[in-house]
Structure 1
Amino acid sequence: MGAARSALNGSSIHEFTVKLLLFFVQDGNGNDADLGIYKGKVLLVVNVASKCNYTQLTEVYNRCKGRDFEILAFPCNQFLGQEPWDDQKIKEFACTRFKADYPIFQKCCENRIKWNFTKFLVDKDGKVFDRYGTSTSSMSIEKDIEKALGSQHNE
């Protein structure tokens, strides 16, 4: 978990502002989103790509939403061009194919990850609880989500 903690360099995710693309199936139109609104929630932060086969977020979201849990999806085209679409097409795809009703942010460049669908579980204080590789399905980390929901994780 030590390497995972370095992903934010000791910062809290709540200190960042990003561009919102889609929030609960409403158009974000590129508005700034202050991640401080997620204080007190457990987050699964995922870099996503429409043409990547690791797309199992909706199921875990539906089981855990409403319990101080949120998924934050960040589209990225850096890895084998698997997110070639513009923001409008990404939004349409996420809403129709995956019935996404979690926040999706504008396409961005990723640092400190190796491939699409790298997942970071972030605790209620905005610190990285754990990091999961591409092939680790969202379903298999539900036990860690439950653990983070049930405890205030301290470093």
Structure 2
Amino acid sequence: MTIYNYSAKAMNGKEVSLEEYKGKVVLIVNVASRCGFTFQYEDLQKLYDRYKDQDFVILGFPCNQFAEQEPGTNEQVHTFCTLTYGVNFPMFQKVNVRDEGAHPLFTYLAASKPFEGFNPFHPVAKILKSIIDEQLPHYMIGDSIKWNFTKFLIDRQGNVVKRFEATTDPIDMERDIEEVLATP
């Protein structure tokens, strides 16, 4: 099983097989426009610009499951990302990424790489951990997606290589991305 077994609807409503990204290094991210980690869009776009000519692509999946931080329509999400952060990597329509009704891709991703904890030194980590502990403690059970901006690095064969939580800033993943890009 690889990511190529899945498909999702692009922002334009077209069903896209992830097989279209075969041979590329892929970073899959669940995103939100009103999250304490929304600033990561800027560095995600920088990574995309830096490596896209080396067959690297980022796939963004908006999600409204975490404190309703992505309440807009797909069109509003797309407009926000484009105008605010200049996002031009592929974005897909809103999906659920955990619990009942989760998109099968995210069920697969979460099962492929277990949750290893949040970076306790990230400036937003303490706030995030207290929100989850107080309001959503069941989110910490199992390996499901814990919050927005969980990122999965995929190799050229469609296999999940590494999972990065919201508390890992995109630029801090650069060495891992370069290592996977260097592997045929």
Q: How does the TM-score come out when normalised to structure 1?
A: 0.85
Question: Which residue of the other structure, out of 30, 37, 50, is the alignment partner of 1:47?
Answer: 30
Counterpart residue number, 1:31: 14
Report 1:52-91 matches (<5 A): 52-54=35-37, 55=40, 56-91=43-78
Residue aligned with 2:180, SS: helix
State yes or no: 1:95 paired with 2:127.
no
Q: Which runs of 5+ in 1 are unaligned?
A: 1-10, 22-27
Distance 2:85 2:16 in 1: 22
Q: Which amino acid aligns with 1:64?
A: Y
Query: Shift in Å at residue 53 of structure 1?
Result: 3.1
Counterpart residue number, 2:110: none
Query: Shift in Å at residue 107 of structure 1?
Result: 0.2
Counterpart residue number, 1:117: 149
Query: Shift in Å at residue 15 of structure 1?
Result: 1.2
State yes or no: 1:107 paired with 2:97.
no
Q: Which amino acid aligns with 2:152?
A: F
State yes or no: 1:130 paired with 2:162.
yes
Query: Shift in Å at residue 52 of structure 1?
Result: 1.4
Q: Which has the higher helix share?
A: 2
Q: How does the TM-score come out when normalised to structure 2?
A: 0.72
- Aligned-pair Cα RMSD in Å: 0.9
Q: Which amino acid aligns with 2:18?
A: L
Q: Which has the higher strand share?
A: 1
Q: Which runs of 5+ in 2 are unaligned?
A: 99-143
Q: Which amino acid aligns with 2:19?
A: G
Query: Shift in Å at residue 148 of structure 1?
Result: 0.3
Quote the sequence identity (%): 42
Counterpart residue number, 1:16: 6
Structure whose CA Rg is larger: 2
